[in-house]
Structure 1
Amino acid sequence: MHDLILKNGLIVDGTGAPGFRGDVAVKDGVIVEVGEVSGPAARTLDADGALITPGFVDIHTHYDGQVSWDSVLAPSSINGVTSIAMGNCGVGFAPARPEKHAWLINLLEGVEDIPGTALAEGLTWDWETFPDYLNALARRSYTLDIGAHVPHAALRAYVMGDAGGDHEAVPSDAELARMEALTFEAMEAGALGFSTSRTYVHRSRDGQNIGTLTASEAELLGIAGALKRAGRGVIQLISDAYLTPDDDFAQREMDLIRALVRTTGRKLSFTVQQTDDAPDRWKHIFREVAAMNAEGLDVKTQVAPRPLGVILSFASTTNPFFICPTYREVAREATTEQRLAALADPAVKAKILAEHKHIHPPGMALIIVQGFNRMHRMTDPVDYEPDASTSLGVEAERLGRDPADFVYDVLLEEGGRRLLYMPLINYARGNLDDVWGMMSGPHSLYGLSDGGAHCGTICDGSFPTTTLELWSKGSKQGYKAPIEQLVHGYTQRNAQHVGWHDRGVVKPGYLADLNVIDLGGLSLGPPEIVQDLPAGGARLLQTARGYRWTVKSGKVTFENGAWTGEVPGKLLRGDQGL
């Protein structure tokens, strides 16, 4: 007898091949029959009118802290994801000496907007080395499978001490050899790969640049040599190449990526997005990546399926007034309710608006503070390609209101919990044309969800849902893709890149990670602000409509968006074969 049968669905098997109608039978956590299924089952689910797809593979998350206290790992798990890679962008919590715990919390709070109080209370710290960390995770169970990269920033601090947090500090030969040895030890223990960050955007809570920002080619090649020695593992990084208007700088970063892959022989993926300052840089990067692949180097870009939109609110982390001294004073020690009450005071509002006139921060922060024509009320379902004509800036102009004053009042709606959506990245031209260009590139991977991070600023763990819902129907400019191509991008394609060859396909012998999806009913409502982190920490949480069932290793983990209580997920150590 089979454990589970999914009947009468349109099977989109993850390979990119045309979908076909049929059944899927599962036994002992593995797919055993596809198409015409024989025999009875302990449980049968009717997938009529729905898609049957592999579970999604999200290769860019930051659940490194959350995995030590949480088994559900939402919002990824509630958006059809059954396997995740974490430890991206060079940040994580291992290796970690006890005296560096507070420093790492400070770093992750700044880089990934994870409340420090939640990390301080929730992290169990039943590890020191990276193999210790993996062993700690192996003692726990989850709704999905997890793999972890060795994060460069933590490794640097572990070996170099305080100097590791200084991006201008150069490791000695002995320190570099030690970092290589620890990375090799981690790879032997089951690390997924090695990750690093080279972006000025990544700063600790107190504003310090991440220590890996300007790491030399010698340092990176020295550490990544461990992957060559181990004969496995992938490299993941973020670089400022995508956001710079400086052609020479961008080219140097591309040359560094080329050298890393050529020297180690390993696969590499890196972040590519679009900013207002360099709206066509992604095209230059894509040409470079195509040339690398033509040389036989396996280099991929990680791209997003929609704008990276900042969610603005008085009840969360970011809003147009968050830099104003009075706002910072109000927010510093107050609870959420106390802060909202104070901000509703006309005298407090007047002081903040007066200060706001003189706030002109550099870079993307200026858009957050002054970009009223990019601020939109969040709708249900969320509109991820809003038009400037519906912005609060245009609405204020129509009403004859000062835009800052008007936006302040809008943020006070719903008891101060009104959410605004601001497409900050990947929206330089006010549409998704360039996003489509990146997604359809031959060397692109769907990633960058940052699930588990940016708790009060963005909520992009729902990227897989947007990928299927938006792009199967088409953007407002008319770009669309076959559902088979979209599913392939979030299943077999991602799984193969990181070496997980036992999943991402609906075929006999593959892991029974599956979704049953009502594509016509698939949609995303606005995120909610929930206070379910340790120490009462708040985060944005977004659920999806349209997932009938998610199955992990043959167990139904979610039914109509609700967790069933099953936790069949586990730690993945390195590559996974059939």
Structure 2
Amino acid sequence: MFDLKITGGTVVDGTGADRFTADVGIKDGKIVEVRRRGPNDPPLAGPAAETIDAAGKIVAPGFVDIHTHYDGQVSWDDLLEPSSNHGVTTIVAGNCGVGFAPVRPGQEQWLIELMEGVEDIPGTALTEGITWGWETYAEYLDVIGSRELAVDMGSQIAHGTVRAYAMGERGARNEPATAEDIAAMSALVQEAIEAGALGFSSSRTLAHRAMDGEPVPGTFAAEDELFALGRATAAGGGAVFELAPQGAAGEDIVAPRKELEWMRRLGEEIDCALSFALIQVDADPNLWREQLELSAAAHQAGSRLYPQVAARPFGMLLGFPGHHAFTHRPTYRRLKAECSREELAARLAEPAVRQAILSEQDLPLDPNVLFDGMFALAQYSTERLYSLGEPPDYEPTPDRTVAAIARDRNQDPLATMYDLMLEADAATMLMLPMFNYADGNHDAIREMMTHPAGVLGLSDGGAHCSMICDASYPTFLLTHWARDRHRGEKLPLEYVVRKQSHDTAQLFGLTDRGVIAVGKKADINVIDLDALTLHAPRMAYDLPAGGHRLVQGASGYTATIVNGVITRRDGVDTGARPGRLVRGGR
């Protein structure tokens, strides 16, 4: 008897092979039968506790998101949204050199402020939500391992936490590491990999800073430190070495070439996969192509160097619920302090209030408040700030910029920006693409995604709560790239599915998932592709201590299955929690 049967669906199995009609039988969390069916063939024989009729629908593997920041959220939230409502069945946390283990007693608040500054996760939510209960990284994994989750979760050990644990204040302040420091850090990394860490992560981009303005520990690490930690990653049994490289945010266009050179040499020595963030920057719009070519050459030389690429423009969302151009206008400040969210939305729509806010001068910038200057960025970005529409269009044409709409309306651009954000009860968000949109289309992104070395990542699920909601990448890949794109070439559905299931799983050695085949984990999505819709982003206020985060819903997922158990039906959480900690193959 099967626990679950999925009958009559169009299977896109994750290997990139052509789709086919088949029935899938599931037992004890595994796929035990995949029976291809012709038009006149009977369904898979044998009773089942439940059967899903998938006729006319896509049956695909569960998606594996390799770049998330649920390191703290996992201790209070077993659902792990927003990733889990976009077909994701496995997540990997601990990216960008930040995390919460190891941690010395008394160091917890510093780690919270590091995560808050780098990843824009409300510190109050982390302070109230994290239950702690560990010191070593192995103990952290044990705590996660005791949790029952909606998805499987793996973790990487972070350079920032390792440096702070081994070196104390010197490590936190990015002082050079001594030979003794490096030996202590190497031991911590090797122990973590042996305990089940899926990788080691580091950040070297200056854009990643703690709340006190200090760059992530490890940002300026010398080569002897980096290579020693790479060797420790290999000595622990082999795992991924993940990096946010220097120059990733365009602050130094020479740095990425130097970064790839040492990563190539490290990869040749330790024979581990190295993955680094790759985006298109306006300062050098074709640098990304050179980095892809260098990565391909590294593969040929025996170094497994994988650029981690995004599926759409990389930037931020601006609107009244989050950052916007009017945060420093006195009338807005007063109303925000006096009104509830609902009252504020209504007051902002009043003509007199609108006129007052538009006519006022900005209050002074507070240099001690992180991101306090975002209002000025918004004011000077009207030529690059886009109205997304509903459903959102992430490849908008130039006529959809705030400035272009203002010219069409014969209106001041800031007035147009105000009116656009006022739509949908003052909840509309506008898109400011800072990277990956230098050409005004997605052709560069398409080339990145189709490069043999490129892997899909950078969703930042669980992070950048007030600015982005890119955990919706999986749905966007299916709707935009495989079905709807109109400004250039699409991608085959089979390719899109493979890139976010088989390929991402393989990078982290998760060979038991990512494809629909006998013997593999029963992590599966049943998708009504014709009806699949990515909804407009909105601000939710559901984190601990009333913390906010941008979320983006989707409809069209008939079922999401984790370890053979249905966790979502028609997009609604079933309450089942079959997800568990994933430890590395060591």
Q: CA deviation at 1:275?
A: 1.8
Q: Give deviations 1:309-345, integer Å, cap 9, x for gaps.
A: 41111212x22345x4859966997786387688747
Q: Flag the 1:258–1:327 CA change in 2: closer, same or farther, 3 A.
A: farther
**Structure-to-structure mapping, 1:167-566, within 5 angstroms:** 167=174, 169-244=175-250, 248-316=254-322, 318-322=323-327, 324=328, 337=341, 344=353, 346-352=355-361, 368-473=378-483, 475-566=485-576
**Which amino acid counterpart does residue 544 of structure 2 have in structure 1?**
P
Pairwise CA RMSD: 2.4
Check if 1:45 corresponds to 2:55.
Answer: no
**SS of 1:302 mapped into structure 2:** strand
Deviation, structure 1 residue 213: 1.5
Residues 218/325 of structure 1: CA separation in 2 closer, same or farther (3 Å cut): farther
Matches of 1:347 and 1:366 in 2, distance apart?
A: 18
Q: State the distance in 2 between where 1:332 and 1:97 align.
A: 39
Q: 1:411 to 1:225 in 2, by over 3 A?
A: same
2-side partners of 1:340 and 1:212: how far apart?
Answer: 43
The answer to whether the Cα contact below 8 Å between 1:530 and 1:541 also exists between their aligned partners in 2 is yes
Q: Aligned-pair distance for 1:537?
A: 0.7
TM-score by length of 1: 0.93
Q: Could you report, residue by residue, the CA deviation over 1:54-107 in whole angstroms, capped at 9, with x for unpaired residues?
A: 100111111111100001111111000000110001011111123211111111
Q: How far off its partner does 1:269 sit?
A: 0.8
CA distance in 2, matches of 1:123, 1:335: 30
Tell me the CA shift for residue 247 of structure 1.
5.8
The worse-fitting range, judged by mean Cα deviation, of 388-397 and 337-346 is 337-346
Deviation at 1:232, TM superposition (A): 1.5
Whether 1:92 aligns to 2:99 is yes
Residue 25 of structure 1 corresponds to: 25
Q: Is the 8 A contact 1:300 1:445 kept in 2?
A: yes
CA distance in 1 between partners of 2:224 and 2:374 (Å) = 31
- Residue in structure 1 matched with residue 40 of structure 2 by the alignment: none
Secondary structure of residue in 1 paired with 2:113? helix
Displacement after TM superposition at 1:478 (Å): 2.4
2:106 counterpart SS class: helix
Equivalent residues of 2:533, 2:555 under 8 A apart: yes
Which residue is equivalent to 1:147? 154
Residues 1:123 and 2:130 aligned together: yes
Secondary structure of residue in 1 paired with 2:431: strand
Contact 1:380 1:524 in 2 (8 A): no
Between the aligned partners of 1:378 and 1:372, the Cα distance in structure 2 is 14
Deviation at 1:263, TM superposition (A): 2.4
Partners of 1:490 and 1:183 lie apart in 2 by 28
Q: Which runs of 5+ in 2 are unaligned?
A: 37-43, 366-370
Once the 2 structures are TM-superposed, how far is the Cα of residue 437 of structure 1 from its aligned partner?
0.9
1:486 offset after TM fit, Å? 0.9
Task: State how far apart, in whole Å, the 2-side matches of 1:328 and 1:64 are.
Answer: 35
**How much does 1:285 deviate?**
0.4
Paired residue secondary structure (1:105): helix
Q: How far apart, CA to CA, are the structure 2 residues paired with 1:137 and 1:90?
A: 19
Partner of 2:3: 3
Pair 174,331 (structure 1): closer, same or farther in 2 beyond 3 Å = farther
Which amino acid is the alignment partner of residue 203 of structure 1? R
Within 2, Cα distance between the matches of 1:354 and 1:417? 24
Quote the Cα distance in structure 2 between the aligned partners of 1:424 and 1:469: 23
TM superposition shift of 1:377: 3.1
Q: In structure 2, what is the Cα distance between the partners aligned to 1:525 and 1:547?
A: 13
Gaps of 5+ in 1: none
C-alpha contact 1:60 1:86 (8 A) present in aligned 2: yes
Query: Could you list the per-position Cα deviations for residues 114-141 of structure 1 after superposition, in whole angstroms to 9, with x for gaps in the alignment?
Result: 0111001001111111111101101111
Amino acid at match of 2:397: D
> Percent of aligned positions with the same letter in both sequences?
43
Q: For the Cα contact (< 8 Å) 2:246–2:252, is it kept in 1?
A: no
Shift of 1:206: 3.1
- Match for residue 159 of structure 1? 166
Counterparts in 2 of 1:438 and 1:367: CA distance versus 1, 3 Å: farther
- Partner SS for 2:488: coil
Contact 2:205–2:248 (CA<8 Å) still a contact in 1?
A: no
